[in-house]
Structure 1
Amino acid sequence: MNFSTWPHLLVVDVEGNGANPPDLVEVAALPIRDGRPDTSTAGAWLIRPPRPVTPFAARVHGLTNEILTSSPPWPDVAGQVRRLLDGAWIAAHNAHVDYRVLSAHLPGWTPVGVVDTLRLARAACPGLPSYRLDSLITHLGIDLGNAPDQRHRARFDAYATALMLLDMAGNYPTWDQLAAAAVPPGLPGSPQPEEDPTLW
């Protein structure tokens, strides 16, 4: 894979407060540059949600209402998040969730394209008993010794997803082939059907 042909891409992960629809409590966006995660230009934000974090959500990611008390509300960081994401592709595991939540919080924002590593894993590693992030990390032998935070925190999950994406990218000689396998139908970046020239 020639990584110089890749578009501007950020691996994203979001964590919510457990409400439906969720309020954001954490966002991470990790650029891929030259075939590596670029932690030096990554963005990560803790956010105080307008509604309390549910006990279930706090057990999953460890972000309690007390921890988030001094964090800024979403309107204070939304501009920073938008500036980092504007003009980029995004990648995430089970990406329609992250795409939907970010779109709801950033009215008018649309990524150039959306890569779903869950969809990519099903194509690149057929027949696995599970395609959960933890299972894929184990199957692919991903080394997370340098990962920040812990599992289910946005920075950790974005970093793990980035390494997983780069590992699976070796199965695809070109970006277009990877995108064809990884972009869910109907999301930005999905191949458009060719028009039939005989129809008018």
Structure 2
Amino acid sequence: MNFSSWPRLLVVDVEGNGTNPPDLVEVAALPVREGRPDTSTAGAWLTKPRRPVTPFAAGIHGLTNERLEKEPSWEEIADEVHALLGVSWVCAHNAHVDYKVLSAHLPQWQPAGVLDTLRLAKATYSDLPKYSLDALIEHAHPDLSAAPAQRHRATFDAYATAQLLIAMAARYDTWDQLVAAAVPPNLPGAPEPEQDPMLW
């Protein structure tokens, strides 16, 4: 894979407050350049949700209402998040979730395309019993020595997802092959289905 041929791409991860639909409490956006995560230009934001964080959600990511009390509201950081994402490609693990939540919070945002490392992993590692982020980390052993925070925080999960994306992408020859394996139907960037030739 020639990583220099990639368009601008950011690996994203979000954490929510546990409600349905969720309010955001954390967003991370990590650019991938030349086959490496670029932490020097990454973005990470904590935000105080409109509704309280549920005990269940706080137990997963550790972001309590007390911790978020003095963080900015989403309205205060939305433009900054949107500016970093721009119209780039994005990647996430189980990307439908992150794309849906970000789209709800950024109605004007339109990424060029959406890669899903869950879908990509099923195509790349076809015999695994599970495809959770933890299962893929255990299988692929990406280098997470420089990952910030800890598992289930947006910055750590984005870094881990980026390393998994890079490892799996190395098994594909071209960007188009990667897109065909990694973009879910009905999400931006999905290849157009081939039309059957006219019979008459």
- TM-score (normalizing by structure 2): 0.97
Structure 1 distance, partners of 2:140, 2:198, is 47
C-alpha distance 89-199 of structure 1, shift in aligned 2 (>3 A): farther
SS at 1:147 equivalent: coil
| Structure 2 residue ranges without an equivalent (≥5) | none
What is the Cα deviation at residue 194 of structure 1?
A: 3.9
User: Where does structure 1 differ by over 3 angstroms across 4 or more consecutive aligned residues?
Assistant: 194-200
What is the Cα deviation at residue 193 of structure 1?
A: 2.3
What is the Cα deviation at residue 196 of structure 1?
A: 5.2
SS at 2:12 equivalent: strand
What is the Cα deviation at residue 134 of structure 1?
A: 0.7
Partner of 1:120 in structure 2? 120
What is the Cα deviation at residue 129 of structure 1?
A: 0.9
Partner of 2:15 in structure 1? 15
1:154 aligns with 2:137: no
1:175 aligns with 2:175: yes
What is the Cα deviation at residue 107 of structure 1?
A: 0.8
What is the Cα deviation at residue 145 of structure 1?
A: 1.2
What is the Cα deviation at residue 170 of structure 1?
A: 1.1
Structure 2 distance, partners of 1:139, 1:58, is 27
* 2:87–2:109 contact (8 Å) kept in structure 1: no
Partner of 1:189 in structure 2? 189
* 2:112–2:188 contact (8 Å) kept in structure 1: yes
RMSD across aligned C-alpha pairs, in angstroms?
Answer: 1.3
Structure 1 distance, partners of 2:156, 2:25, is 15
C-alpha distance 199-154 of structure 1, shift in aligned 2 (>3 A): farther
What is the Cα deviation at residue 199 of structure 1?
A: 8.7
The equivalences for 1:43-192 within 5 A come to 43-192=43-192
| Structure 1 residue ranges without an equivalent (≥5) | none
Partner of 1:36 in structure 2? 36
What is the Cα deviation at residue 181 of structure 1?
A: 0.2
Structure 2 distance, partners of 1:34, 1:199, is 45
Structure 2 distance, partners of 1:127, 1:102, is 31
Structure 1 distance, partners of 2:82, 2:47, is 15
CA-to-aligned-CA distance 1:53-110 (integer Å, 9 cap, x gap): 0000000000000000110000000000000111200000000000000000001211
Aligned residues: 200
Structure 1 distance, partners of 2:196, 2:126, is 33
Structure 2 distance, partners of 1:161, 1:186, is 22
CA-to-aligned-CA distance 1:10-41 (integer Å, 9 cap, x gap): 00000000010000000000000111000000
Structure 2 distance, partners of 1:133, 1:116, is 12
- TM-score (normalizing by structure 1): 0.97
Structure 1 distance, partners of 2:139, 2:37, is 20
CA-to-aligned-CA distance 1:143-185 (integer Å, 9 cap, x gap): 2111100000000000000000000011100000001000000
Look up the equivalent residue of 1:65 and give its one-letter code.
Answer: N
Structure 2 distance, partners of 1:90, 1:23, is 20
Structure 1 distance, partners of 2:66, 2:17, is 13
